Each structure stands twice: as C-alpha cells, then as structure tokens.
Amino acid sequence: MELNVKLAHKTYPIYIENNLLQSAGSYIEHAFQGKRIMIISDDNVYPLYGDLLTAQLEGRYQCSHYVLPHGEPSKSFDMLPGVYSALLEAKLSRSDLIIALGGGVVGDLTGFVAATYLRGIKLVQIPTSLLAQVDSSVGGKVAVDLPQGKNLVGAFYHPDMVLIDPLVLKTLPERFINDGMGEVIKYGCIADAKLFKILEKCGSFEDLEDYLSNIIYTCVDCKRRVVEEDERDTGRRMLLNFGHTLAHTIEQHFHYERESHGEAVAIGMYQICRFAQLRGLTAPGTAEQIKSILISYHLPFECALPTDVLLDAILLDKKNLNDHLNVILLHTIGDSYIYETTAEFFKSEQITQI
C-alpha cells in the first residue's frame, strides 16, 4: 500500500507492506544517490533489525550506526552532542542520509537531528512501534523534551520516505502494542466513527491483527489529510492533539517513568471528554464509549494530578495562541472540534481528581 503526503514544498511517499524491512535497501537505493548513511536506533531495536537493514545497504553505501538507550529520556538535549559527533565523524554531508529505525522516541530525536545537522539532511523514517507506524513517523513534528515539558523544542521537518513493515510489531512488547492503540483509538475519536466501531467490534489487538495493515493505513491516511491541510499546526491539525494537553502533563509530572505516551493519551482523551460532557460540550454517553474501548485495549483512563501542576503545564501547551487555549473536544465519536477558551476552563477539581 502506498500513500503520498503532498505539501506545498515537498511530496513524500509512505509504503506499508508486510516484510518491507527485507527490501528496504532497494526502496532506499532507488531514491538516494548519496554516498553515506547513518542509521539511528535504540538498544532494543538495533539488535533486532539493525543488521538486516545494514546488510542491504552496505554494498552501495558507507554505513554507520548510532544506538541510543531506549525510552523517553533519550529524547533530550543531552543526547544531541553524541549524535552530532557521530555524524561528523562518519563525514555525512547534506547529500547523505539518516535513517530513524525505531519507535517514536528514535523518530522524534532523529528527525530533530536531521532538521538541524548541517541545517538539514535527508531523512527516512522506518518506524518499528505501533505508535510510530500509525502516528509519529508521518507529519514532520520532530522534537526533544525539556525538563519543563514535552516536545518544547523542535521543528516541522518531514522525512523523504516512510517505510512501514507491520510484521516488526511481532517483537514489540505487549505494553507498547496497547500504547500504540491509544493513538489508533484517537483517530477513531477525532475523525473516523467507522474505525471506532471496528475497534469496538474486535475488542482486542489479537482480533485486529488480520486487519493491521489496513488499520495502519487508515490512521496514516487520516493524519496525511490533516497535515496536508494544516502543516504548521495553526488550525485543523490541532485535532490530532486530542487528549494530549492532559497526556503531556501526566508524562512530565511523573518524569516519563509511569505512563507511556499512548497510555497518557488514553487518560487524557477520556478525562477531557468526561469533563466536556459534564459541561454540555460533548454528547451524553461519549465519554462512557471511550472508557469502555480503553478498558478493552488494556489502557488506563484515570490518574490524579495536583491542580496547580495541570494549570502550570497548560500554559506551555503549544496550541495556546495569545491568551487563548485551544482545547480539542468531541461533539460525538468521530466528530471533533477546537474549543477556544482560557485557563479558567481547567480550574476545577473535576479535571484533576480523575
């Protein structure tokens, strides 16, 4: 399956195919004329798939690799000097290529490196987690975290190609399958009631596996449409952030040691929906539908946060414009909207005692 992200300044393909990793070399060879390639990965993924990828590239390119410790703390400034040094040592020029082989952490950090090294170098995303396959590898949001919050320094820097092999998910730990399902459910909530129904009907990842490529395609296609319409996140793209204001607060508050991103998004989606429903901003019953699908996919839906923590974090939300907060709400499943409000909206025990 193939999709193309068509932007004003560039178009790039996304290929989704079982066993694609076995022929990644020929996709890359077809598209890149440079001499050198650096693969950036983490210490879980590289031992599983690094040699397979390198073996396909070695005859044609000078290959090197850089392996990060796995986990969110690697998405930080502290990691950057080591990566830039490795790129300089391997003498990568602007006509060369960086490949991000891993989950969203590797993808976001590598994307940030690609955007900044020599002011921009070619980038291929090979996402290996469900979350990265359905969401983070597409759309060009690249970033590192700051101690004050998630993704606070970054860029919009799109890859030149995305290669998705759903079969690599066979080695993904169950916790991160569930984590990725958090973002899949998000797509159903914000834009695709039909997808939500399929997820409800299947009721577990095992029952979805036969349709996995189609599910990935559906999510990526939804993201592609939104990103084409609003690449820079000034309007419609904010819908992709449903549940994320609370999610980012939870992740940062617990130092990325408790909830993973997808788990935090799950809590954020249910809680903002429940809160909006209490205020008549969302149709009755919607929050309950979300809660029961989250339970089916083994995702959490509650977490207590001190009110001041939430209020402080909200002020750093990237959807804020001037003094307005833009909160993503649902009219109903599959129908989302941007609700313009102020920090007052969140000043309630009901949103933090969740």
Residues of this chain that interact with ligand NAD (CB under 6 A) are 42, 44-45, 48, 70-72, 75, 102-106, 108, 128-129, 131-132, 135-136, 139, 141, 150, 168, 171-172, 176, 179, 260-262
The entry of ligand LNCXM5UN, ligand NAD, none that residue 233 binds, CB within 5 to 8 Å by partner kind:
ligand LNCXM5UN
19 C-beta neighbours (distance < 10 Å), count: 10
The number of CA neighbours under 13 Å toward the Cβ of 67 is 10
CB under 6 A: which stretch of 25-33, 49-57, 133-141, 195-203 binds ligand LNCXM5UN?
133-141
Shortest distance (Å) from residue 171 CB to ligand NAD? 4
Is 189 in contact with 269 (CB distance < 8 Å)?
yes
Q: Mask of contacts with ligand LNCXM5UN, 25-64, x by CB under 6 A?
A: ----------------------------------------
Q: Which of residues 314-353 bind ligand LNCXM5UN (CB under 6 A)?
A: 318
Beta-carbon contacts of 146 under 8 Å, excluding residues fewer than 6 positions away, are 77, 152, 153
Shortest distance (Å) from residue 312 CB to ligand NAD? 19
CB under 6 A: which stretch of 9-17, 198-206, 238-246, 252-260 binds ligand LNCXM5UN?
238-246
The entry of ligand NAD, ligand LNCXM5UN, none that residue 129 binds, CB within 5 to 8 Å by partner kind:
ligand NAD
Q: How far is CA 165 from CA 45, 349, 353, in A?
A: 14, 44, 40
Q: Shortest CA distance to 169 belongs to which of 199, 111, 198, 126?
A: 126
Q: Shortest CA distance to 129 belongs to which of 165, 98, 92?
A: 165
- Tell whether 83 is in a known binding site: no
Beta-carbon contacts of 170 under 8 Å, excluding residues fewer than 6 positions away, are none
Binds ligand LNCXM5UN by CB under 6 A, chosen from 233, 251, 259, 263: 233
- Tell whether 261 is in a known binding site: yes
Sign of CA dihedral 338, 340, 343, 347: negative
Strand 36-42 and strand 62-68: the pairing is parallel
The number of CA neighbours under 13 Å toward the Cβ of 204 is 3
Binds ligand LNCXM5UN by CB under 6 A, chosen from 65, 122, 244, 274: 244
- Tell whether 206 is in a known binding site: no
Sign of CA dihedral 292, 293, 299, 302: negative
Shortest distance (Å) from residue 318 CB to ligand LNCXM5UN? 4
Q: How far from chain centre, in Å, is Cα 172?
A: 16
Q: Helices (H) and strands (E) in the chain — how many of each?
A: 15, 11
In the block, residue with structure tokens 């939300």:
317
158 contacts ligand LNCXM5UN (rule: CB under 6 A): no
d(CA 243, CA 187): 11
Is 140 in contact with 132 (CB distance < 8 Å)?
no
266 contacts ligand LNCXM5UN (rule: CB under 6 A): no
Is 185 in contact with 294 (CB distance < 8 Å)?
yes
The entry of ligand LNCXM5UN, ligand NAD, none that residue 158 binds, CB within 5 to 8 Å by partner kind:
none
Name the residue nearer to ligand NAD (CB basis): 142 or 310.
Answer: 142
- Residue 284 region by backbone torsions, left for phi larger than 0, else alpha for psi between -120 and 50, else beta: beta
The entry of ligand LNCXM5UN, ligand NAD, none that residue 168 binds, CB within 5 to 8 Å by partner kind:
ligand NAD
- Tell whether 244 is in a known binding site: yes
Residues belonging to the binding site are 104-108, 128-129, 141, 150, 183, 244, 261
Residues belonging to the binding site for NAD(+) are 104-108, 128-129, 141, 150
Residues belonging to the binding site for Zn(2+) are 183, 244, 261
Q: Which residues sit at the interface with ligand LNCXM5UN, rule CB under 6 A?
A: 135, 139, 141, 150-151, 183, 233, 237, 240-241, 244, 318
